[in-house]
Every structure is written in C-alpha cells, then in structure tokens.
Structure 1
Amino acid sequence: MTAGFQASLLDLGEEPGLGPLGATVRRTHLTDGAWLDLRPAWLTGADALFDRLSHKVPWHAERRHMYDRMVAVPRLLKFYEDHEPFPDPLLDQAMRLLNAHYAGHPGTPFRTAGLCLYRDGRDSVAWHGDRIGRGAVEDTMVAILSLGTPRPLLLRPRGGGPSIRHDLGHGDLIVMGGTCQRTWDHSIPKLTRPTGPRISIQFRPHDVR
C-alpha cells in the first residue's frame, strides 16, 4: 500500500471488536421496496483491523472490458468465495452476527466477502447495482463494513434521479436490502482533495456479485 492511513487518536492500541446490532441499526425505506440499514461505529478498534487487512490480504489489480476497450479497475481487489477462509477471524464473527440479525430476510445468509482497497481519492467505483447472478431477479442484501478514511457512498434510483449521500466512516456498517440492487444504483466517487486509503468489506449471499 502506497498511501498512509491517519490512525484515529481514539483507536490507538485498542483491539477490534463488534458491537450489538438490534435496535442500534437505523433503517431508511427507499422507493420500490428498497431499504438501507445504517449502524455507525459497529466496529471499534478499527485501526488494528485496517492494518492487519492492508498487509495480509493478497490485493491485486484487475482490468475489465468497458466502453469497447480494456480499462484498469480503479481500486485493488480480493474476493473470498463461499467456504474460502477469510484473512481475519473478525470477518467470520461479523458474518455470523449479520446472519443472526438478518435471519429470515430475503437474500440471506451471507456467504462471501469481497474486499476493495481504495488507495487514495483517485480510486473509485462507478454507478452500478450488484446484479450479477441472483441479484438480477431476486431481493438480496449487501452488507458493507467500511475501514479507514471516510468516503461518500452515493445512491440513486436506477435510471437516474437525485442521489442520497452517506459518508461512511471508520468502522461503520451499511446494509442495502430488499430490491435495492435491482432498483437503485450506488457508487464511490473520485475525490479531488488529498485522501487516505479505505478498505471496504462487502458481505454477500451466494451467487450475488
């Protein structure tokens, strides 16, 4: 990793731990059966987990076919398939807690984890929904645990319209559920100001990308 993360003064030396979900989760209902859950500061001691993942995860760059040419994906990636060991036991604990909290919801259980490393403000993800596989036709959920420098997550109705902004901080959890992947799009925009690195951990059900 080339960019430096400015550790939190409140986090220094604290071992990472996950708080309760339950009533601490705030739900926002969107349109067309989509919803968002937000749990600020779900992870405490996030500095230590950020440091472990930044060094332990085998990050790699990818190129994808877009606009009739191959382009570099503007972030580093690692996808952990169903039953593939996670790089840190805290991710296993996070998945267990999420599956217990959302048991019975359409689109559960969570089975995989996709990790993205945004090295600085030039790294981003364009407008999209997770509509590869079951997400194209079924209600599903994507839970994102954010580590590192805060970055805005934007959401807007599929096909365009006013966007909603959530500034995801160090240790925050956001969950997109219901029809959200089919009827809404989301993005992490580029930033022009100097920005430190961020790690996004996306928990998904089987056959949702």
Structure 2
Amino acid sequence: MALAWQDSLFGEDPAEGAGALDLHALQRRPLDERSWLDVARGWVPDHADLLDELVRTAPWRQRERRVWDADVLEPRLVAVWGADELDRLPPILRGARELLGERYGVEFDSALANLYRDGRDGVAWHGDTVRKRLPETVVVTIGLGERRRFLLRPGAAGPPAVRLDSGGGDLVVMGGRCQHEWQHTVPKDARAGTRLSVTMRHSRPLPARR
C-alpha cells in the first residue's frame, strides 16, 4: 500500500509523560454541561512506527454503504478488532486500552482503525452508533500520521464549534453525551497526507456516579 506522509522535520516536544503513556498530560475541555473532551498532544511515542506497523498488519477492508439507490465505497479503509481479537493489537495499544480503561472505569471491548490514505479520504458528520445503546459514553481516539482537521459541532447542523488538528500521536477522548448531542467529522482536504486513527469503545454502561 503506497502512502504519503512526512513526520515533522523539526520534531515536536511530546506531551509530558508520553513515553510511559502517562495520563497527567490530559487536559479537560468542557463542550457543554453534559459533554466534554480530554486531549493530550503527542501522547503516543514513536507514533510513526506504530502507524507503519498498523498499515502492514491490520485487517484492512473498504466497506460499502447504501446511498439512495446505489452501493458506494466508503472513502477510507477500516480495520476492526472485536472483544476476542484485542490481544492482536500492537503492544502499545494494548497498554493504552488497559490504562484508559482504568482511568474511565470501563472496559474498552472493541477497537476500530480508520486509514485516511490521502486528502481524498474522510468521514462525514456523525455521532458514533454506540449512542444507540448507552446514554453516556467514553470514546477514545488516537491519531497517527499527519494532523488533519477533526471538527465538532453541537446538534446535527451548522458550522463547527470546535477544531482540533489531530494526528502525531495525539489522544482525544470524547465523553458524556458527546455522541448524542454533538457530531464530529474528518473532512476531505486536497492537500493532506496519510492519517490513521485508532478508536476504542465500550459496550457496557459507565459506572454510576458517586
């Protein structure tokens, strides 16, 4: 698979503690009274190596969606790991899953990767389907490769209210009612290179608040 992206020639200072996947770098950003983001820039060390490993080894496929009266290919590649396949994730992602599960009090029992091969790939505005089963959710996304616009908006229409440039090993966690009351997108961008995101979700309810 021929992909084009280039890590920064000047490098970046990783988030404090990123080498050990330390969560002290997380910063909470409230979206409203019920929804929030936690963000840590450059959280995954050696993210370029992880991207290369996933490109080589993940079970990639291109899904079809029904649009009006035609089946069309989604503009990205997808790889999925179910509950009985999570031990096949690279070790650093297995460690991230365990650490983040302890942090948020849930078991992340599925993982999905999206590979945006170039700027022609993207994903439209949406809320993750886990909202159909759970009143509140924690959805983890680790962005690898080139930073792309990751936009959020309240409701199902209107301009973006929040812009993140996600990639480079960044960690973004969407929580509370975010999947119900907000939408997010990675829009197409003719100038963009390769971006890969790894998303982890849970299927059981969050623990009761004390």
Q: TM-score, normalised by structure 1?
A: 0.87
> How large is the RMSD of aligned CA atoms in angstroms?
2.0
Does the aligned pair in 1 maintain the 2:21–2:96 contact within 8 Å? no
Q: Name the stretch that deviates more: 67-76 or 142-151.
A: 67-76
Of 86, 89, 102, 2:88 maps to 86
Q: TM-score, normalised by structure 2?
A: 0.86
Find the aligned partners of 1:71 and 1:47 in 2 and give their Cα distance.
Answer: 31
Query: What CA deviation, in whole Å up to 9, does each residue of 1:36-86 have, x standing for no partner?
Result: 110111111111111111111121111111233211100001110112133
Does the aligned pair in 1 maintain the 2:127–2:184 contact within 8 Å? yes
Is the partner of 2:137 in helix, strand or coil? coil
Is the partner of 2:98 in helix, strand or coil? helix
Shift of 1:137: 4.4
Shift of 1:188: 0.3
Find the aligned partners of 2:120 and 2:37 in 1 and give their Cα distance.
Answer: 26
Shift of 1:3: 1.9
Higher helix share: 2
Of 160, 164, 173, 1:175 maps to 173
| Partner in structure 1 of residue 123 of structure 2 | 125
Does the aligned pair in 2 maintain the 1:42–1:172 contact within 8 Å? yes
Does the aligned pair in 1 maintain the 2:78–2:113 contact within 8 Å? yes
| Partner in structure 1 of residue 21 of structure 2 | 19
Does the aligned pair in 1 maintain the 2:76–2:114 contact within 8 Å? yes
Gaps of 5+ in 1: none
- How many pairs were matched up? 197
Find the aligned partners of 2:99 and 2:71 in 1 and give their Cα distance.
Answer: 39
Is the partner of 2:2 in helix, strand or coil? coil
